[in-house]
Amino acid sequence: MPSHDVLVIGAGLAGQRAALAAAEEGVSVGIISKVHPVRSHSNAAQGGINAALNPGDSWESHAFDTIKGSDYLGDQDAVEIMTREAPEEILHLEHLGVTFHRNEEGKLGTRAFGGASAARTYYVADITGQAIMHVLYEQLMKYSEQIARYEEWFCSSLALDESGECCGVVTRNVADGTMELFQAKSVILCTGGNGQVWQPTTNALICTGDGIAMAYRAGAKLMDMEMIQYHPTTLAGKGFLITEGARGEGAHLLNAKGERFMEKYAPNKMELASRDVVSRAEQTEINEGRGFPDGTVALDITVVPKKRVHEALREIVLVGRDFAGVDITREPIHIKPGNHYTMGGVKTDVDGRTDIPGLYSAGETACVSVHGGNRLGANSLLDTLIFGKRSGRDAAARAKRIDASRPSKKVLEDEEQLIADIVSREKGSGRRISEIKRELGQTMDSKVAVFRDEAGITEALETVRRLKEEAKTAYIDDHGSVFNQDLIAAIELGYMLDNAECTCVAALERKESRGAQYRTDYPERNDEEWLKHIDLEQTDDGPQLSYSEVTITQWEPQERTY
């Protein structure tokens, strides 16, 4: 049985940072990822990473912007930690070799970003996530003796010992199909978000909510699952992301009449208001007939100097050219709000600890919560790194403190049985996995998106529950062991359906409008009743609801205008 003190599941930014932090504490570390680490979706974070590092800026200002952005649902103690530790983390990354943009003096330079009261976003052109992740992977290669990498291994369930503590995971080596039970004193889930539950989405095909579902099934609480971010600038149809950096560099949003409509919705911050605000404004323009016939509005980047576009928005030039056939330096590009980010997730404390001893979570999988109802642009990379680091350290400390307990073989046998069941289903015995996935995605995108109401969410929940039944008989074509992607897709579909059910239940429960949750039947924020988190726990009858307090330290909720 492979065994490590700390086992990290997922090798995006949160996972890699957690693994490096744990290894620094001198414990043995393993990092498991269902794809090669550099394929992880942190790659797609384009715009940058926030930190109050400039003279004149302060962590308090960064914290306030984050809390206001969260529509006061963010826990202020966690936000304080994240914003206070941000500058040191940026410098740490710079020292490791990240090629951050420099100003004329050769020092770190910044760009403006949405919802922020100062230009505090550090960046590498518009490949910031990729640049940071590749540098962290360089460090993983450097410390290969301390950190064992299991690349292209898929995790399917968590193992708990008799006292209910997490002590390992069941995995499948994708390359040859062997199943393996890993033993660990601490397990850190860093498997990213669940964007694939929606179609279209900016998220990669691998973002199927694995860690959220595994933790939920093991008995951990989920939190803020109704809070799903729709990004204001995604391509219609394919859902590809156009970085907020474009608006940070000065690009305008225009409706079909050529009006800069943000004047009506956020007269001060205009295009750089919070994402939920901008997405709602766009959707309103589209719904009220001022959009283009393809259900979009326009992003005009031609107002940004060409030289600056090539230097700082090159990826977007390529996306426009290759995926929309538009030269963004010459003409506006059509965009719309699209599914982008999971604010909710596995409920953790500020050291990544979940309700299950020994089980940690960080990054998009986790909900600390620093993003509350709405995440600010360029805070996601920061979240992954700060809480990746903190959970890595705490997981290592726990590993030093406790003796390992041996996971029971039964979890492995159960999992093997489950897989045998899926593989043995006859062709035509049910629906295809891809059909169910498509129906799920379309349902969620039409009913649980920018604007929601009781009837729509209820309908979505009913559909999700029907699809859960149908998934039990869905069949696959591939019966082999080597790279059986068909089988993995079947397991991922199960994860996605659990995620979807939780989101629907929480969205139905929250009878107010806050952040990304906008209920047309309850259009006002209601602090008196709903300034609280919705927690979800698995039972045989579906998710069970409870509430937890929002931590407020020094910023009392106030009206939110931009």
Partner 1 sequence: MADYTIKVRRFQPESGEGPYWEEFNVDLDPSLSVLDGLLQAKDRDDGSLAVRCSCRAAICGSCGMKINGQSGLGCKTQIGEAQELADKQASAAGEGGNGTPIVIEPMGNMPVIKDLITDMESTHWTKIRRVTPWLLPHGEPPEREYVVEPESMIDITQSMACIQCGACVSSCLSMEADPGFIGPAALAKAYRFVGDPRDAETKERLHDLAHDPHGIYDCTHCFSCIDACPKGVAPMDQIMRLRRKAGEEGIDDPNSGHDHEIAFVKIIEKKGTLDESLLLQESFAPGFKGKLKPSKRAIREMLGSIPTAIRGIKTGKMRSLHKLIPGVHPKLPDQDDVKAIYAHAEEHSEEFNLYIKGEEGELAEENVEKGIERSTDPDTAQEVKNG
Please report how many Cα atoms fall inside a 13 Å half-sphere around the Cα of residue 173, on the Cβ side: 11
**Closer residue to partner 1 in complex, CB, 119/531:** 119
Q: For residues 130 and 229, which CB has a smaller minimum distance to partner 1 in the complex?
A: 130
Q: How far apart are CA 272 and CA 513, in angstroms?
A: 21
Q: What residues contact 504, with CB distance under 8 A and at least 6 apart?
A: 448, 457, 460, 461, 464
Which residue in the block uniquely carries the two structure tokens 């539950």? 197
Contact 166, 188 (CB under 8 A): no
Contact 22, 393 (CB under 8 A): yes
Q: Any idea how long the chain is?
A: 562
CA 297 to chain centre: 25
Task: Give residue for tokens 């909510």.
Answer: 209
Q: Which of 149, 247, 275, 390 is catalytic?
A: 275
How many whole angstroms separate alpha carbon 158 and alpha carbon 412? 10
Tell me how far apart the alpha carbons of residues 336 and 312 are, in angstroms, rounded to a whole number: 22
DSSP string, 199-230: SSBSS-TT-S-HHHHHHHHHT--EE-TT-EEE
Question: Does residue 277 contact residue 253 with C-beta atoms inside 8 Å?
Answer: no
Instruction: Decide whether 11 or 159 has the Cβ nearer to partner 1.
Output: 11
Q: Find the shortest distance in angstroms from Cβ 430 to partner 1.
A: 13
Q: Tell the residue number behind the tokens 């307090």, with chain if given.
A: 549
Which one-letter amino acid corresponds to residue 511? K
- CA separation for the pair 432, 179 (Å, rounded): 25
| 86 closest CA partner among 390, 360, 397, 393 | 390
Q: Are 349 and 220 in contact (CB under 8 A)?
A: no
Annotation marks residue 275 as catalytic: yes
Cα separation, 362 vs 347, in Å, equals: 10
* 3-state secondary structure (DSSP) of residue 534: strand
Q: What is the 3-state secondary structure (H, E, C) of 96-154?
A: HCCCCCECCCCCECEECCCCCCCCCEECCCCCHHHHHHHHHHHHHHHCCCCEEEEECEE
- Determine the Cα–Cα distance for residues 438 and 199; give it in Å rounded to an integer: 7
Contacts of 90 by beta carbon, 8 Å cutoff, 6+ apart: 49, 51, 53, 100, 108, 122
Residue 283's CB: how many other CB atoms inside 10 A? 21
Instruction: Name the residues annotated as catalytic.
Output: 275
